[in-house]
Amino acid sequence: MGLLEGAFEEGVITTSLEQAINWARESSMWPMTFGLACCAIEMMATGASRFDIDRFGAGAFRATPRQADLMIVAGTVNYKMASRVRRLYNQMPDPKFVIAMGACTCGGGPYYKYGYNVVKGVDLVVPVDVYVPGCPPRPEALLEGLMRIQDKVRAMRHLTKGQPLDNLVPARTGRVKLPPELETLEKANEFVKRNKEAAAPGKA
Amino acid sequence: MPLAASDVRYVEPPTMGLWEKLYLPAIFEGLGTTMRQMLKPAVTQQFPEQEPKLPAHFRGVHRLNRDEQGRVKCVACYLCSTACPAHCIDIVAAPSPWTDREKYPETFVIDELRCIYCGMCEEACPVDAIELTTLYDLTGLSRQEMLFDKEKLLSVFDQTTTAGTDPARTGRGRLGPASEKTADVRLPNPQ
């Protein structure tokens, strides 16, 4: 864009095709209606007027996977449903994204140990992009997850076919950060070593 | 017991008068409700800019409390991991390097993905070492980053207490009501 930047009069914006596609894609993330259990109630609340997922362009809940970009798996996935989840995921057009919403979907939740019929995390069935924990998560948390999906879309390259970058710079998320002594792996290893030395029982 | 004929009540549907049969008054009534809602102020929260006001007892991300010397308060008694209905707390205890307790947690890992934020760990803890904060919008891109270890849980404590969103609820530095030093347990701040 360097050559064309500012070459035209005011009101004309130049951009790369990639950025334009990414911008269009991130601001029209159409989710699929995929309420499986109680988290769906919170997903509906997110779509309603108080939280209003339409502000992010993701309010058009589609009843068919062919028209959807985003699958918000909201609720307990049991083994009978798992094959259907996979099938619906396969029917979605690329690029497709998955949000695992709620404790049951993320990792089995309270059914982790004794639930004989519950999939221990939907990432065993479909690749999950963003995990939103909670039982159920607040609507704000779901919006936060949606924003992370949008971050991911913004980072897509090679005419949006490539994989998103590894180190994303979240626009707003990541409030819980590691303290400075744990920032890098080396520092963290040092820290753990120091801790262990300090914790070694003294010679009696 | 068989149902007697006298127990059964037959109800006729109410007959509609001319006013109801016209249907138009009902339509205008509905339109009026819509118009009235349009004139009212919008209820939408502009979320990323406008933070929601959550009640002080909202249960979000966990934290491990520090005592006055900055050490972890936990005494590795396993009560929280026993009480946890989702079995998401994993503790490895080690002999404590300090004199005021026998054990301390060498590792303390909470799987935030599996946790259902019920607050039972907080209730079970005898030394008020684990608490739930009002951080409500935790999301993660991978399973690994959502396993919160001891350092991360302590950093949540630092963050929430310095930011002032969740002040320490127990007298900071005291081990709490179940430990030996129960002489003057300070009441939590009334904010």
Alpha carbons A99 and A142: distance in angstroms, whole number: 9
Q: In the predicted model, is pLDDT for residue A161 greater than 70?
A: no
Find where tokens 């039972």 sit. B120
Rounded to two decimals, the ipTM of the complex is 0.75
Alpha carbons A107 and A111: distance in angstroms, whole number: 9
Could you state, in chain order, the average pLDDT of each consecutive group of 10 residues for chain B (191 residues)?
Answer: 88 89 93 93 86 83 86 90 91 88 90 90 88 87 87 88 72 45 48 48
Find where tokens 């849980």 sit. B153
What pLDDT score does A146 carry? 92
Contact A55 B88 (CB under 8 A): no
Query: Which of A108, A130, A145 lies at the smallest CB-CB distance from B114?
Result: A108
Compute the average pLDDT of residues A64-82. 91
What are the percentages of helix, strand and coil residues in chain A, rounded to 5? 40, 10, 50
Residue of A131, A178, A182, A191 for testing the chain B interface, max B β-carbons within 10 Å: A131
Shortest distance between the Cα of A8 and any Cα of chain B, in A, equals 34
Contact in structure between B60 and B134 (CB atoms under 8 Å)? yes
Contact B141 A148 (CB under 8 A): yes
Query: Which of B52, B61, B143 lies at the smallest CB-CB distance from A176?
Result: B61
Say how many residues make up chain B. 191
